[in-house]
Amino acid sequence: MKIQNGTEQPRKTQPEFLVLTVLLFLVFVFGAGWVLFAPKQTFSEDENRALQPAPELSAESLLDGSFMEDAAAFAGDHFPARRELISLYTTAQFVSGKRDVGSNYAASPADGGVYFGSNGHLYEVLLPDKSSTFTQNAQALCNFAEAVDVPVYLLAAPSGSQEQPESLPLFAPNHSQREELQELKDLAGGSAVVVDTFDALGSVHGDFYFKTDHHWNTFGAYAAYQSLCSAMGLAPASLDDYNFRTVTQPFYGTLYSKAVSFFQDPDRMYLPERKEPQDIVQLVNGTEERSGIYWEEYLSQKDKYSVYLGGNRGVDVVINRDVTNGRKLLVLKDSYANSMVPYLTSNFSEIHLIDLRYYNFNVYDYIREHGITDAAAIYSVKQLCEISIANKLIVR
């Protein structure tokens, strides 16, 4: 009987395991070195958000755990090839069959994220308003219409996913914004004219929304302008009165920021310009005069939609000195209204734009002091479901 030697020979490390270990170590060292020493960005244009700053070490932050949370967020926001990894992750979700990305249903209000639609379209996922924010805003706008001595027009703009349901993923759940439109009509009664743009913006007439952004595009803004003019008894300017300047820089909008991916084609922007130039100026913040309404510097930035008026402020005034009818339009608005201004300048001597998110003065005093003749509220339905403006319209 042969007795086995109890001493085992040490196993030799396989070459492929050694190579893998070295590679992982180098990746770890390179990643840590990059996070610690590489130049840092403070803002991600792709995601349209501020990036996590370096964590501050203190006894308090160590004890309550916030230092480790901030350190993890900092490392995630500044890891090398982060954009490429995010794009790869989004692509993997799409390939795996997921159609709703970037959602946060734990938020209040819940954020439904983005659908991958057909023809390269991204769409907002629409959720019902469970906070009654829309009802409160709609009632406040109707109370405003009853309190002022000028005609008031309420235009609640539908989202692209409302108007193009045939382009959504099969069986994708999506709240119908026609419920909000009907509620607005019921509340308005005879106090205001509700401008219904839902049929005018439907896809049977064309594609009136950006593919990567939540706003309507240049031609969607024109279709809404036509509807508003019809309600106001005005003759709209013709598209033939304009040249449409093509913005050569690619445009990736707010929806792309939630679904950054390799395969997404950019949008093209077109800026309407009158064939017969007119003397149009913008009073920034209501005081500082600036020629024209296009802020060209934004065309080299991520937020290209802010080429209209330079974005949103509490108050702006647009004056067309070649229109002498004396009509002064007050627009209570969100950013949807900004791209309608190039058309509205054809019908009004002055357009007073007030964004109640940033305006902290008495709207009723403003109407009296500036001789307003007409008023319109131009908001997206989604915005009216999420941001409260009711407290800014209390009659005082």
Indicate if the pLDDT at residue 106 is higher than 90: no
C-alpha distances (whole Å) from 113 to each of 214, 256, 303, 328 are 12, 11, 19, 39
The Cα-based distances of 26 to 73, 78, 329 in angstroms read 22, 18, 64
Return the C-alpha torsion angle 167, 173, 175, 178, nearest 10.
50
**pTM of the prediction?**
0.80
- pLDDT band, very low/low/confident/very high, at 395 (cuts 50, 70, 90): confident
How much of the chain exceeds pLDDT 90, in percent? 66
What is residue 235's predicted lDDT score, i.e. its pLDDT? 98
The mean pLDDT of 91-100, rounded to a whole number, is 59
Look at residue 171 in the predicted model and tell me its pLDDT: 87
In this predicted model, what pLDDT tens digit does every residue of 4-15 receive, in sequence order? 555 555 555 556
pLDDT at 3: 46
Assigned token pair, 243: 């040249």
> What are the tens digits of pLDDT across the range 237-288?
999 999 999 999 999 999 998 888 888 899 999 999 999 999 999 999 999 9
The DSSP string of 15-70 is HHHHHHHHHHHHHHHHHHHHHHHS---SEETTTTEEPPPPPPP-HHHHHHSHHHHH
Average the pLDDT over 189-218 and give the result.
96
Q: What is the mean pLDDT of residues 281-304?
A: 96
Question: How many whole angstroms from its chain centre is CA 166?
Answer: 22
Residue 111, pLDDT score: 72
Task: Find the angle CA(327)-CA(333)-CA(339) to the nearest 5 degrees.
Answer: 80
pLDDT digits (tens, 9 = 90+) for 56-85: 656 665 566 655 565 555 444 445 555 555
pLDDT at 23 over 80: no
- The DSSP code sequence of 67-119 is HHHHHHHHHHHS-TTHHHHHHHHHHHHHHTT--EES-BTTSSS-B--EEE-ST
pLDDT in tens, 25-62: 655 554 455 444 545 455 444 444 455 565 665 666 55
pLDDT digits (tens, 9 = 90+) for 113-140: 899 999 999 999 999 998 999 999 999 9
Please tell me the predicted confidence (pLDDT) of residue 77: 46
Quick one: pLDDT band at residue 198, thresholds 50, 70, 90? very high
Tell me what the pLDDT averaged over the chain comes to: 84
Residues with Cβ within 8 Å of 243's Cβ and at least 6 positions away in sequence, in order, are: 272, 273, 274, 275
CA terminus-to-terminus distance, the chain? 108
User: DSSP letter at 335?
Assistant: G
Average pLDDT over every residue of 354-361: 96
pLDDT average, residue stretch 148-159: 98
Percent of the chain with pLDDT over 70: 73
Question: In angstroms, rounded to a whole number, what is the distance separating the alpha carbons of residues 208 and 215?
Answer: 9
Number of H helices, E strands in the chain: 11, 15
What's the pLDDT score for residue 101?
Answer: 75
